[in-house]
Amino acid sequence: MIEKKILLTDCPDDKGLIAKITNICYKHQLNILHNNEFVDFETKHFFMRSELEGIFNEATLRADLEFSLPEGANFRLIDAQKRKRVVILVTKEAHCIGDILMKNYYGGLDVEIAAVVGNHETLKELVERFDIPFHCVSHEGLTRVEHDKLLAEKIDEYAPDFIVLAKYMRVLNPDFVARYPNRVVNIHHSFLPAFIGAKPYQQAYERGVKIIGATAHFINNELDQGPIIMQNVINIDHTYSADAMMKAGRDVEKTVLSRALDLVLHDRVFVYKNKTIVL
Amino acid sequence: MIEKKILLTDCPDDKGLIAKITNICYKHQLNILHNNEFVDFETKHFFMRSELEGIFNEATLRADLEFSLPEGANFRLIDAQKRKRVVILVTKEAHCIGDILMKNYYGGLDVEIAAVVGNHETLKELVERFDIPFHCVSHEGLTRVEHDKLLAEKIDEYAPDFIVLAKYMRVLNPDFVARYPNRVVNIHHSFLPAFIGAKPYQQAYERGVKIIGATAHFINNELDQGPIIMQNVINIDHTYSADAMMKAGRDVEKTVLSRALDLVLHDRVFVYKNKTIVL
Amino acid sequence: MIEKKILLTDCPDDKGLIAKITNICYKHQLNILHNNEFVDFETKHFFMRSELEGIFNEATLRADLEFSLPEGANFRLIDAQKRKRVVILVTKEAHCIGDILMKNYYGGLDVEIAAVVGNHETLKELVERFDIPFHCVSHEGLTRVEHDKLLAEKIDEYAPDFIVLAKYMRVLNPDFVARYPNRVVNIHHSFLPAFIGAKPYQQAYERGVKIIGATAHFINNELDQGPIIMQNVINIDHTYSADAMMKAGRDVEKTVLSRALDLVLHDRVFVYKNKTIVL
Amino acid sequence: MIEKKILLTDCPDDKGLIAKITNICYKHQLNILHNNEFVDFETKHFFMRSELEGIFNEATLRADLEFSLPEGANFRLIDAQKRKRVVILVTKEAHCIGDILMKNYYGGLDVEIAAVVGNHETLKELVERFDIPFHCVSHEGLTRVEHDKLLAEKIDEYAPDFIVLAKYMRVLNPDFVARYPNRVVNIHHSFLPAFIGAKPYQQAYERGVKIIGATAHFINNELDQGPIIMQNVINIDHTYSADAMMKAGRDVEKTVLSRALDLVLHDRVFVYKNKTIVL
């Protein structure tokens, strides 16, 4: 059966890597639909993403790749036709989750939304209008660790590929972060590294900036310091209050988040040493 | 004689301010070509910029305004047809000073460049190709205060309206800053407040951002903390080294600086409480 | 009772117009919160938008304005706190109507959506999820004039302030256009005047452009020739098929439309001689 | 001797092309620094750009490629370290040629400017300040064909790799175009295909657009219809006269042109069926 798969390879850079990998594909009679590669000359690391089409003998292909590639090479073969499954965490703001729900509704985002989990009930009604399960996991009366543990249990019921923080307004503890390495995508409402932490629009207002923006990134254990996937800004001026910035910023936030998701969901994002390589 | 003047007014907000000011203009038979106003509702402060045309009886006009406006009002009446005079400080990089020189050459920037002062000789040859005086005021063997004093003496010979830091790569001491309040425009090669201080492109590279930018601002006594006039960004990706960012960033830097200058030179920028109001 | 109203004035330019209008406001003890004016020196026409706060004696205010302003002056006094009512026309595409519905849901767009009318049933289900009435007025078997007449009848049941074409994919006949002068806002999926008419993304693909965009405009009787309210673009490259452009363009379309609506709904848009003045 | 060369390949798409080409490189012990490929699935054509480093046995390499690649394949092996030579045509406007001269001065554009040719004397003085030969080839009293022939003769004296039209305001005849296929880069001061031909800013003003832009493209025999290399826009509003648009547009024009040149000069642009593929 003809299938489409994505081969993601990364390894220490070496001569002949593209030749070796593409040869193996050729030998397997796999057609390369798209091929993107990048060598980071600072870290001397090689990255390649190949969209393949053909009849896959996966065991042999893996064996051939393992034999050919240098030690320490990572490769993953991913079914290009299987939609990724996500669980989305929210708090009270509707614009990011709303945009994802709507895009999902009309087929604009290639994703299966397994469930939405909020620490408040606020968005339950909206989510359920789209026939997606909503769970409220309140943080009231719990330590952060206790709450995150409940979250993780709820998330794990759905076995998602990725977790999306669509304006989830709480910091997640290191155990949670470690549980889902490079699998939690957050949207932060500033052009990082400016305005880290709480109330970035208020910070932006106080500083008197002329642009505001948003940053989609994988989370790590330092607040707003994870690998950046996508950023964008819009122009503002002195007439914008912090509230007006927040209102204007919503379209940037939701667009940056959904474009970042589009990349992540199509396996176009490598994470390496706290940076992303988008192929 | 028919003249064009710009009336800049700012004062604590009050009812009837626009009516009072425009009435006086009308009484003086001055035509208002453009009128822009802004009330900062947080600080309850009023700002207005009026481009006036007619025969000016300046003494009476001032007296009428003083009589009408609330105590603490500032107003300035500026000859709209007189080009501003600037002294430009540089170090070694050519792109910002080069763009200003070139725009000045073909009439693209409404300015009189009185002189360029560098702390290195590097740009002397370029500046002199455009028949502008270049002075080297080396910082070698001097304390910052001593050097800044020499700079100020050289600058003051030309009695400029504004001083432009076109990639002048040294911090200026508080005495220097105090000498030219809201008259020194700097270009910083990042979207402030991100990447304050030295080597912002290297910082941007290390953080793995997906946009880089530039900020034009008036200087104050905190490094890269002065009132922001204009900012812009461009998209980059993982293929950009710090050097490639620096190269790509040059067009943003020079464009942001010259657009900010265009605003400043046409008296469109109020400074209030470390922010700018651009009318 | 303290109210907020917006005074929109336009008339042939003359000396003292701002003074006259703001004086009347002052005499009426109305505070001017925001005041924006523009003189088109080509057509010698004056435009002003004033946000007023106070106790309105509307009859006297109107009389005073009429007495003071030159013949041919238009002025409108609009309740700033009353949300505009719109009827939205759609065909099959969900992204623009979806964004408006979602923004309306979370309070991001200051509007009352009276009803949505489609020439297909496709979007009925989505619209009804947001508890907004949906009417299908099919064009099947009807002439354009007949169909537009049915549309107008349905629209008029709701007495909307504005009609929004949120990807309504049919041309409206001159009678329909004349019935709602400067009250029908359309989104066109190209940066006009490029790619007028059908399939602009296909046209863009064939031309090999490196940007795609969207234009929000009032309709008039020439296809895609009405007064432009807002435009924006995004970068694309050779990897985009016409379909990929269409997908990427959706976020631009919906954002341009909702930002244009935000301006229109807050009475910030004057139309004059097939152009808009946005104050 | 270790050299860097760029291998540009294009041919009808086929299985195994990347493998074949990269294998040959590997066999020749050439390191691939960067590799970008694109398959146009509409025309079923394959494009690849490979930056190679190593000791080149060019004759063998070519023979190997010729043997391996399908009939009709084009490949070019280009010295990556040799700067391209250009002749620049101008008329009277200084901003684009000025930016190129300035970038060339400080090393911001990897190019050898062999000469500048104008149909007016206007820019002679500026060009000569940068020690570049300037030739005036006036069109006065000549037919277009005669004038273009003189231009071509002057250009050919310098044997340039590319010809840059830096606001050269005349249409070139088909013979001239045919003489330099895909080697003449023009900057047009609109976002094509909008506002083709003369006075695009006047056209933009009359249409009342909210963005203006610029397009860099190779010329062909239809006015402003050649393959587009790069485009960009800036936002404007109702306050812009045609003159103000022209002034604001200059920075976009010059930036688009120099970024397009940067791509062309580094052999990153394929032309195929009136489109560009930028690798």
Of A22, A36, A37, Cβ closest to residue D19: A22
- Say if residues D229 and D276 touch (Cβ distance below 8 Å): yes
Q: What is the pLDDT of residue A159?
A: 98
The ipTM value here is 0.96
| Residue A32 clears pLDDT 90, i.e. is over it | yes
Q: E strands, A44-194, where?
A: 45-54, 74-79, 84-90, 111-118, 134-136, 162-165, 184-188
List of chain C residues whose C-beta atoms are within 8 Å of the C-beta of residue B31: 15
**Which residue has 């600080």 as its token pair?**
B43
List of chain C residues whose C-beta atoms are within 8 Å of the C-beta of residue D42: 241
* Helices of type H across A84-173: 95-106, 124-129, 144-157
Mean pLDDT of A257-274: 97
Other beta carbons within 10 angstroms of residue B165's beta carbon come to: 22
The structure tokens listed for D40 are 């146009």
CA nearest D40 in C: which residue?
Answer: C239
List of chain A residues whose C-beta atoms are within 8 Å of the C-beta of residue B41: 241
Measured distance CA(A111)–CA(A104) in Å, rounded:
7
Mean pLDDT of C210-228: 96
pLDDT tens by residue, A70-128: 988 999 999 999 999 999 999 999 999 999 999 999 999 999 999 999 999 999 999 99
Which residues of chain D are in CATH 3.40.50.170 domains? 84-278
Measured distance CA(A205)–CA(D213) in Å, rounded:
30
Angle formed by the axes of helices A95-106 and C95-106, nearest 10°: 150
User: By 3-state DSSP, what share of chain C in percent is helix, strand and coil, each rounded to 5?
Assistant: 35, 30, 35
Q: Is the CB of D258 inside 8 Å of chain B's CB atoms? A: yes
What percentage of chain B exceeds 90 in pLDDT?
A: 98
Q: pTM of the prediction? A: 0.97
- Cross-chain Cβ contact A18/D32 below 8 Å: yes
* Chain Cα centroid distance, residue B17: 27
The residue ranking higher by pLDDT, C26 or D221, is C26
Tell me the three state secondary structure of residue A121.
coil
Supply φ then ψ for residue A30, to 5 degrees.
-95, 130
Measured distance CA(D91)–CA(D96) in Å, rounded:
11
User: How close is the nearest chain D Cα to the Cα of B5, in Å?
Assistant: 19
Of D41, D209, D229, Cβ closest to residue C231: D209
| Residue D247 clears pLDDT 90, i.e. is over it | yes
Q: What is the pLDDT of residue A177?
A: 96
**Which residue has 């007189």 as its token pair?**
B82
The H or E element containing residue B86 is strand B84-90
- Cross-chain Cβ contact C42/D227 below 8 Å: no
Of B15, B23, B25, Cβ closest to residue C31: B15
Closest listed residue to residue A211, CA positions, set B218, C230, B228, C251: B228
CA angle C69, C74, C80 (to 5 degrees): 110
Q: Does residue C224 carry a catalytic annotation?
A: yes
Tell me the three state secondary structure of residue D124.
helix
Q: Is the CB of B44 inside 8 Å of chain A's CB atoms? A: no
Mean pLDDT of C36-46: 96
Q: Which residue among the candidates D224, D237, D243, D251 is catalytic per the annotation?
A: D224
Q: What is the pLDDT of residue D71?
A: 87
Measured distance CA(A89)–CA(A186) in Å, rounded:
10
Q: Is the CB of A36 inside 8 Å of chain D's CB atoms? A: yes
As a whole number, the mean pLDDT across chain B is 97
List of chain A residues whose C-beta atoms are within 8 Å of the C-beta of residue C106: 93-95, 98, 126
pLDDT tens by residue, B183-232: 999 999 999 999 999 999 999 999 999 999 999 999 998 989 999 999 99
- Cross-chain Cβ contact C99/A99 below 8 Å: yes
Mean pLDDT of A157-163: 98
Provide Rg for chain D, Cα atoms. 21
Interface test with A, best of D15, D38, D41 (most A CBs within 10 A): D15
Q: Is the CB of C220 inside 8 Å of chain D's CB atoms? A: no
The architecture (CATH level 2) of C3-79 comes to 2-Layer Sandwich (3.30)
Measured distance CA(C178)–CA(C169) in Å, rounded:
19
pLDDT tens by residue, D42-99: 999 999 999 999 999 999 999 999 999 998 899 999 999 999 999 999 999 999 999 9
Which residues of chain D are in CATH 3.30.70.260 domains? 3-79
Q: What is the pLDDT of residue D219?
A: 97
Q: What is the pLDDT of residue B162?
A: 98
Measured distance CA(C238)–CA(C252) in Å, rounded:
19
Hey, which chains touch B, using 3+ CB pairs under 8 Å?
A, C, D
**Which amino acid, B213?**
G
List of chain C residues whose C-beta atoms are within 8 Å of the C-beta of residue D197: none
Q: Is the CB of A44 inside 8 Å of chain D's CB atoms? A: no
Mean pLDDT of C166-184: 96
List of chain D residues whose C-beta atoms are within 8 Å of the C-beta of residue A22: 16, 18-19, 22
Q: Is the CB of C92 inside 8 Å of chain B's CB atoms? A: no
The superfamily in CATH containing domain A84-278 is Formyl transferase, N-terminal domain (3.40.50.170)
pLDDT tens by residue, A205-236: 999 999 999 999 999 989 899 999 999 999 99
CA dihedral sign of residues D157, D162, D165, D170: positive
Quick one: pLDDT band at residue C169, thresholds 50, 70, 90?
very high
As a whole number, the mean pLDDT across chain A is 97
The structure tokens listed for B237 are 């990706």
Interface test with B, best of C23, C69, C210, C211 (most B CBs within 10 A): C23
The H or E element containing residue B111 is strand B111-118
Q: Which residue among the candidates C64, C148, C224, C267 is catalytic per the annotation?
A: C224
Q: Are strands C3-12 and C74-79 parallel, antiparallel or unpaired?
A: antiparallel
The structure tokens listed for A74 are 């990572």
Hey, which chains touch C, using 3+ CB pairs under 8 Å?
A, B, D
Quick one: pLDDT band at residue D252, thresholds 50, 70, 90?
very high
The CB-side HSE value for A191 (13 A sphere, CA atoms) comes to: 29
Supply φ then ψ for residue B223, to 5 degrees.
-55, 120
- Cross-chain Cβ contact C208/D276 below 8 Å: yes
Mean pLDDT of B57-81: 95
Q: Please report, for residues A2, A76, A81, the alpha-carbon distance to residue A62 in angstroms, rounded to integers and kept in the order given.
A: 18, 9, 19
Closest listed residue to residue B192, CA positions, set C279, C39, A194: A194
Mean pLDDT of A253-258: 98
| Residue D108 clears pLDDT 90, i.e. is over it | yes
Of B191, B208, B276, Cβ closest to residue A274: B208
- Cross-chain Cβ contact B26/C32 below 8 Å: no
| Residue C252 clears pLDDT 90, i.e. is over it | yes
